[in-house]
Structure 1
Amino acid sequence: MSDGALFKPDKDYSKDADKIIPEAESLAKKDIQKGIDKILSLEKQSRQASDLATTSRCLIAIVTLCKEAGDWSLLNEQVLLLSKKHGQLKQAITNMVQVVMGFLDDTPNLETKLSVIEALRTVTEGKIFVEVERARITRILSNIKKEQGDIKSACDILCELQVETFGSMTRREKTEFILEQVALCIQNDDWVQAGILSRKISTRYFARKPKKTPEQMEKDKKEREEKEKNRSADEPPPEKEDDVTDLKLAYYEQQIILAKHEDKYLEVCKHYRQVLDTESVENNPDQLHAVLQRVIYFVLLAPYDNEQSDLLHRINQDTRNTQIPKDAALLKQFTIPELMRWPVVEEQYGEHLCSTDIFSKTTDANDPKAHTRYEDLRHRIIEHNVRVIAKYYTRITFPRLTELLDLSDEETEKYISDLVTKKTVYARIDRPARVVSFEVKRGPDEVLDEWGNSMKGLLGLLERVGHLMQREEMMARISKQESSKKEPKKSKA
């Protein structure tokens, strides 16, 4: 097979093709094999002369004759034979494969279609110059398996493609392929593979781009036209300024599903914030309200840490929260160091929260994790209350603590133990005395450091007081001398 370099043809056989191909087509109506043989003789001459245009015409003419004759097995045979010809031109094979791909919709039945697909996959296997065509054929085969209900086979077939390495495929098509691979993995419950594949997509591709002026758009258009003129046959066409909103929403929808599956609430919140930064979502009030709600819900569900606390306060400052006042009010309560009684919160917000698909008071068949999220929200409120109590109390009795938290003794001990383990709060439980201490016990080094700092401050104050006293004494001495000078001397009698 040729190495793919484009040579100047030794001889132009286009005039011979104009004469021989119509004759072969007429002959094929009576005997298709004789018609094919007539074209094959011309194909050999043009191939040896590196006449790409004529060779491509011959290959396309042969497969077209087979298709029009309805002999699909002969078509498959010719595709395989023509691609294996010695010194066959790569671009001619590519053109033939593209034409045969167009015949797939005209196949009489599914069995014939699968045989043609298999022949094309055999021809394109391991050949970089037809990698895009192979990917598209594989996608068609995967869709057939998916329609038949064989999700596992569809997933295995499509996921064998490493489309991110295809240099001749556009970025948009690569992204569509990977998104479809991830979707099939999710349907196949292969969550690990779905996560690995999703990381092949760079989120910078979805970054919101500033709007361009008409002058900039005209300049970009001219640059693309210039690149298209100078592009070689093996290079992909220049990327167009395309709207990728549909890809962005599909990508983050998959990321949200993956994060929800692993209960990574903070990640879900971040993904919804990316969805929020989309023009189409901002301009749609219904979508905007739904996304704003979910941003608030999932940041509240996320376990407390520095990152979660920072994100929660930033979300609270979003002016768009005025469009969802009830959810914004719940969010604000988490930013204030005050107790939130769960029975009161449930009474005020329970019905509203459960009206969404995020929360449910009962185990819902549609989303079994909705009830789990409702319980997690209760846990976050209790944890918030423990942090508030730890801020205001150094020591508190167990009965009073359970009263403030609306929990039993066992639940109270469990929550405090969990928060201590996570190093969210410092606490020590004295069971015999039934007292909880939130005061951090300091080590000898810390006590000595504090004492040293205190003594340093005290000595500094004493030195300053000493200076002030000396100053006052000096000022008093000076004022006494001045007053004595001003008094008149008494005359002698």
Structure 2
Amino acid sequence: MEGDSTNLDAAIESLLNVEKQMRLAGDVAGTRKAVIDIVELCYKAGAWKTLNDQIVLLSKRRGQLKQAITAMVQKAMEYIDLTPDMDTRIELIKTLSSVSAGKIYVEIERARLIKRLAKIKEEQGKIDEAADLMQEVAVETFGSMAKTEKIAFILEQVRLCLDRQDYVRAQILSRKISTRVFEADPSKEKKKPKEGDNIVQDAPAEIPSLLELKRIYYEHMIRYYSHNNDYLEICRCYKAIYDIPAIKEDPAKWIPILRKICWYLVLAPHEPMQSSLLNATLEDKNLSEIPNFRLLLKQLVTMEVVQWTSLWEFFKSEYENEGGALGAKAPEDLKLRVIEHVLLSLVNVYLVILLYICLLNLNSCSVQNILVVSKYYARITLKRLADLLCLSLQEAEKHLSDMVNSKSLIAKIDRPMGVVSFRTAQDSNGVLNSWAMNLEKLLDLVEKSCHQIHKETMIHKAVLKA
């Protein structure tokens, strides 16, 4: 054993002398070959500690060539999976990452090393350490890294942040990826590099395709938006996944996604974006494959009051089929949407536009009821309102008060009389304008009536003369 060690040291010393001569002579090819031979010699001898020491030594030699360090790091990375145990593997990765730290010409190799080390830490259950390691690397600044590899690396950073429930950092990292990059055609982007440009390296074979990365990205964003129940953004993420060609071609894949789109559309607060997505989804021909959800969306665009009890009885089984994927708050939020739907329906129709923004603070079927009743009522009894909302008098009054306090609704309650008024207070100019408009309408009606009477008289006289 001592003889083998002596022979190894002697061979390394000889190669170091050769490396020195080549380096001082500026011979790139000779220096690269010498450092690679030293690395191979240590690997074949199974001297992993010596290998680590020689890597550090060679990287610190005066005037060491960049090409030599790059070749040494790349060669040593090939031996990571061939290490005898996990401790040796971790030590080799750490040595290579420390050698490549701060060197632009091996920044891609360092990023890949950090990613492998983070994966090991995650397998050991050290999620926080893995996330911290990944966040040390800013791959978005790497000019020679392939676009798909950059996206995959950032998505891995986002996933680890979500696993450790660091939602703020996950959002910051996710913004480094522009959604427009997923719509680009990779075949049209391959251009000949100009002189002085960085040569973009090909992504490793294990990196997913751009469309697969798009699916992974939106799945991570669904996880992020789910922690604060942002139903509309979750719906938009599922819509983006639904539009992937590979998903649309397979009914087994798109049917569950379309179901979730419908659910989150119903749960989302009523606003212009939600209304636009709702109408666009209703026009989707694939919706005919799931008629129950088509009926659910139809109820939201039809100006009719929705009864919460009957609605929940009909769709409760569909909700249970989702297996809790919608979250524990979904039934409660759905009921609140029904309440909003009824209340807003009670308000005059011209208030609907003013309520779009205000409705964001409340919870989805009730929004539709509110919009419906707003078309037909200016005043209503509190008892009738409670019946429409399927609530007790106290609960109906509470929801109405909450909407008024949040400026979602303009209403007054006459508690002794038990009457709710949705009329807005008008100033003197508004009252005068209203009177003038009413008088104008009245005079138009009188004029039309006189014309009709005169017309009938002339026709009657003509008949008598004949």
Provide the TM-score with structure 1 as the length reference.
0.78
Query: After superposition, where does 1:39-188 map in structure 2 within 5 Å?
Result: 39-188=15-164
Could you tell me which amino acid in structure 2 is paired with residue 123 of structure 1?
A: V
Listed one character per residue, the Cα deviations across residues 138-172 of structure 1 (whole Å, up to 9, x for unaligned) are: 11111111111111111111121111111121111
Return the match for 2:339 from 359, 366, 382: 382
Cα distance per residue 1:256-289 (max 9 Å; x no partner)? 1111111100101111111111101100102111
The answer on 1:413 being equivalent to 2:389 is no
Deviation at residue 424 of structure 1 after TM alignment: 3.9
Change over 3 Å in CA distance of 1:232–1:30 after alignment to 2:
farther
SS at match of 2:396: helix
Asked if the contact 2:382–2:397 (Cα under 8 Å) also holds between the matched residues in 1, the reply is no
Letter in 1 for 2:138: Q
Divergent runs of 4+, >3 A: 27-30, 230-234, 237-240, 421-425, 448-462
User: Is 2:14 aligned against 1:38?
Assistant: yes
Task: Give the C-alpha shift of residue 30 in structure 1.
Answer: 6.3
Tell me by how many angstroms 1:235 deviates: 2.8
Give the letter for the 1:425 counterpart.
L
The Cα offsets for residues 7-26 of structure 1, whole Å up to 9 and x where unpaired, read as xxxxxxxxxxxxxxxxxxxx
* 1:17-40, Cα deviation, whole Å (9 max, x unpaired): xxxxxxxxxx98861122112222
- Correspondences of 1:65-464 after superposition (within 5 Å): 65-207=41-183, 209=185, 226-227=192-193, 235-237=199-201, 243-358=209-324, 370-386=327-343, 387=370, 388-451=372-435
Q: Deviation string for 1:328-369 (max 9, x for gaps)?
A: 1011001111111111112222212221135xxxxxxxx6x6
Counterparts of 2:273 and 2:427 in 1: how far apart (Å)? Answer: 29
User: Is the Cα–Cα contact under 8 Å of residues 143 and 198 in structure 2 kept in the other structure?
Assistant: no
1:73/1:238 CA distance change after superposition, 3 Å? closer
**1:426 Cα deviation after fit:** 2.5
SS of match in other structure, 1:371: coil
Aligned to 1:18: none
- 1:370 partner SS: coil
The code of the aligned residue for 1:273 comes to K
Q: Is the Cα contact below 8 Å between 1:176 and 1:247 reproduced in 2? A: yes
Contact 2:338 2:389 in 1 (8 A): no
Report how far residue 450 of structure 1 moved: 3.9
CA distance in 2, matches of 1:281, 1:129: 39
- Post-superposition shift, 1:234? 5.1
Which AA in structure 1 matches 2:123? E
Counterpart Cα distance in 2 of 1:235 and 1:431 = 76
How many residues get paired? 417
Q: Measure how far apart 1:409 and its partner are.
A: 1.0
Q: Which amino acid aligns with 2:391?
A: L
2:357 match: none
Contact 2:282 2:297 (8 Å CA) reproduced: yes
Any idea what the Cα deviations from partners look like across 1:229-249, whole Å, max 9, x if unmatched? x77795323799x94121111
C-alpha RMSD over aligned residues = 2.8
Q: 1:425 to 1:279 in 2, by over 3 A?
A: same
Greater gyration radius: 1
Measured after TM superposition, the shift of residue 44 of structure 1 is 1.5
Taking the aligned partners of 1:234 and 1:86, their CA distance within structure 2 comes to 26
Corresponding letter in the other structure for 1:47: R
CA distance in 1 between counterparts of 2:178 and 2:62 reads: 42
Residues 148, 209 of structure 2: 8 Å contact kept:
no
Could you tell me how far 1:53 is from its partner in structure 2?
1.1
Aligned equivalents of 1:454, 1:50: Cα separation in 2: 97
1:59 to partner: Cα distance: 0.4
More off after superposition, 397-406 vs 93-102: 397-406
> C-alpha deviations, 1:397-426, integer Å up to 9, x for none?
111221222210111012222333444432
Matches of 2:165 and 2:320, distance apart in 1 = 27
Q: d(CA) in 2 for partners of 1:448 and 1:52? A: 92
| 1:372 Cα offset (Å) | 1.1
Give the SS at the match of 1:31.
Answer: helix
TM-aligned CA deviation for residue 455 of structure 1: 7.0
Structure 1 contact 52–89 (Cα < 8 Å) conserved: yes
| Distance in structure 1 (CA, Å) of the matches to 2:408 and 2:255 | 32
**2:100/2:110 contact within 8 Å kept:** yes
Q: CA separation in 2, counterparts of 1:458 and 1:427?
A: 29
Q: SS state of the match for residue 327, structure 2?
A: helix
Q: 1:357, 1:370 within 8 Å by CA — same for their partners in 2?
A: no
- Assess, with a 3 A threshold, how the Cα gap between structure 1 residues 351 and 296 changes in structure 2: closer, same or farther: same
Amino acid at match of 1:255: M
User: How far apart, CA to CA, are the structure 1 residues paired with 2:69 and 2:417?
Assistant: 87
- Residue 119 and residue 201 in structure 1: after superposition, are their counterparts in 2 closer, same or farther (change >3 A)? same
Structure 2 counterpart of 1:275, which letter? I
Deviating more after overlay: 370-379 vs 58-67: 370-379
Change (3 A) 1:238 1:150: closer
Distance 1:461 1:285 in 2: 58
CA contact (8 A) 2:379 2:419 kept: yes
Identity %: 40
